[in-house]
Amino acid sequence: MTVATILEMVLGAVVLGLGAWTIAARETFAATVGYVAYGLLVPLIWVRLDAVDVALTEAAIGGGLGGVLLLGAAARLRASEPAAAAETPGKIVRLGAAGASVMVAAALSAAVLLLPDPAPTLAPAAIANASATGLANPVTNVLMAFRAMDTMLEKVVLLLAIVGVWSLASDQAWGGRPGPRHQADPHGVFAFLARLLPPVGIVVGIYMFWTGADHPGGAFQGGSMLAAMWLLVIMAGLTDTPPASGRWLRLVLIAGPGVFLAVGLGGVCFGLAFLAYPPTNAKPLILGIEVAMVLTIAVTLGLLVAGAPERSPQR
């Protein structure tokens, strides 16, 4: 057994322990903190699995933005905690749940142990067709070309999610600014960091998006980085969330899926297929879609964390 193997086993055990802690912890806030730590360590497993693109996404969205979302909700729901704790199910339900969980985990473990050998793979097909798009990152190729339909529909899911969140606004706050107005000491450390980090973070985010054509990275990772910087500035009270009724905001929200759909329909018009790119212009077209996508992703993710409108647009 090599050192690397032992390291992996320890890493997996720590991650799994954190996962168990999120379930077993007595307080919701403590469980949420455990989940954030879990979300920040899981990317290390993804790196060990040689999936750096996924590791970046998981760290930025699963650990970072998801953590902010859950921690904020846990803090606001603290008052409901004592009542909920009294509703813990009885021993029979818990035993049954434990039995069902063990069975599911055992079935999945058996499936992992019985996976076919040699494993089926689409990697050779992805590399054989890479020349069609001119992008060197196979994951971006799959996302933007080979399985472009998935990615386009996913943009629609993001749009539907934001419509769902916004429709939870009360009558007075309809079309208003999402979330509470954040206040922070203007001379404090937080406000200082919110001024110091965004210039760096914005450059890193744009670089992650740009380099995604040839190296690990891409529109999701870059977009979530930009969203994180935006949220940092909002939470430090340096700026406010935009009103949900803003025309420009809504245009940005539909830019990603809109451009994607337009290019896809263009493929039909020029005698190819839906979402087929002409081979000579594939790379510029994909980059154009990605530019629109990175903007949409950044704004949508930021607004999803900010939540439903709570203040009327005037305030």
Positions 207 through 236 that interact with another protein (CB under 8 A): 218, 220
Q: Which stretch binds another protein (CB under 8 A): 133-141, 200-208, 231-239, 245-253?
A: 133-141
For residue 190, how far is the Cα from the chain centroid?
Answer: 24
Asked if 242 and 95 count as a contact pair (C-beta separation under 8 A), the reply is no
Q: Which one, 114 or 269, has the nearer CB to another protein? A: 114
Please state, in angstroms and rounded to a whole number, the distance separating the CA atoms of residues 252 and 2. 51
Angle made by CA atoms 223, 226, 229, in degrees to the nearest 5: 150
Q: Which one, 235 or 301, has the nearer CB to another protein? A: 301
Q: Kindly state the helix (H) or strand (E) to which residue 313 belongs, with its residue range.
A: none
Q: Which of 105, 136, 200, 265 binds another protein (CB under 8 A)?
A: 105
Q: Which of 40, 142, 202, 254 binds another protein (CB under 8 A)?
A: 142
What track of x and - describes contact with another protein for positions 47 through 86 (by CB under 8 A)? Answer: -xxxx-xx--xx--xx--xx--xx--xx-xx--xx-xxx-
For residue 159, how far is the Cα from the chain centroid?
Answer: 14
- Tell the smallest beta-carbon distance from residue 270 to another protein (Å): 25
> Does residue number 113 form part of the binding site for another protein (CB under 8 A)?
yes
- DSSP-based three-state secondary structure for 147: coil
Q: Which of 138, 201, 237, 267 binds another protein (CB under 8 A)?
A: 138
> Does residue number 180 form part of the binding site for another protein (CB under 8 A)?
no
**DSSP secondary structure, 96-143, as one string:** HHHHHHHHHHHHHHHHHHT--SSPP--HHHHHHTGGGTT---HHHHII
> Does residue number 181 form part of the binding site for another protein (CB under 8 A)?
no
Q: Which stretch binds another protein (CB under 8 A): 143-151, 229-237, 247-255, 260-268?
A: 143-151
Q: How many CA atoms lie within 13 A of 57 on its CB side?
A: 14
Residue 149 contacts by C-beta under 8 Å, 6 or more apart in sequence? 274, 275
Residues 29-48 that bind another protein (CB under 8 A): 31-32, 35, 38-39, 42, 45-46, 48
For residue 283, give the nearest of 228, 220, 213, 216 by alpha carbon. Answer: 213
Q: Which of 92, 171, 183, 247 binds another protein (CB under 8 A)?
A: 171
Q: Which one, 153 or 193, has the nearer CB to another protein? A: 153
Residues 244-303 that bind another protein (CB under 8 A): 297, 301
DSSP state of 276: P
- CB-count exposure of residue 230 (10 Å: 0-12, 13-18, 19+): buried
Q: Which one, 71 or 191, has the nearer CB to another protein? A: 71
Q: Which one, 120 or 271, has the nearer CB to another protein? A: 120
> Does residue number 119 form part of the binding site for another protein (CB under 8 A)?
yes
